[in-house]
Structure 1
């Protein structure tokens, strides 16, 4: 603790700063601090994303994408709001940092922006 306090004093001498005490949120990542570890979580961010995309009531699944799914730009499905779609993909790209199990599908659907 003495080394940490000394470091803070030296930094404060050179930079304008304040000590915010224990870290709780950083870039939309909730951080719980234990005695020996930091536990980051983006669950609130993911819930907000589900609400934004009108998927809050959807059921969870084990795999984030149907197996052997083939998507095409030329589709007979109803048109979607391109701005909303891009916003959701951008948000998912941020979520990937804590959820590596969705990396492939996020990369796959981002090809259709």
Structure 2
């Protein structure tokens, strides 16, 4: 007996895996405002590793914190007080920019165009890997 599957149109995508999707006439915006607010609520926890892992997930739509995340992630094995201070500073920045996200503006009348570049062979570059 063959299985039958039904698909239904649920409308425009608005939320997926914790990422908020706003589709406007002039741009598509990806953000994680609700997730960032939840992370800020949990920031009173003394366990630095959990906070850093949460911030790492936030980088998906917040490339502006990627560099700071790379720095604080180095010290997850043995975090000291100054590392925790850096994480708290980063959390204060997130609080002030909680509605930030990635915006893909419409470039012309033909609709949204997304161009992505990737260097998958970074280890092949002896000087800059």
In structure 1, list runs of 5 or more residues that go unmatched: 1-13, 55-79
1:94 aligns with 2:84: no
Q: Secondary structure at the match of 2:29?
A: strand
Give RMSD over aligned pairs. Answer: 2.2
TM-score (norm 1): 0.54
Mark the structure with the bigger radius of gyration. Answer: 1
Give the aligned length.
73
Unaligned runs of 5+ in 2: 77-129
Q: Which has the higher contact order (CA 8 A, sep 6+)?
A: 2
CA displacement at 1:52 relative to structure 2? 0.6
TM-score for both structures, normalised by structure 2: 0.48
Residues 53 and 18 of structure 1, relative CA distance in 2, 3 Å threshold: same
Distance 1:44 1:15, change over 3 A: same
Matched, 1:31 2:37: no
After the TM superposition, which parts of structure 1 deviate over 2 Å for at least 4 consecutive aligned residues? 14-19
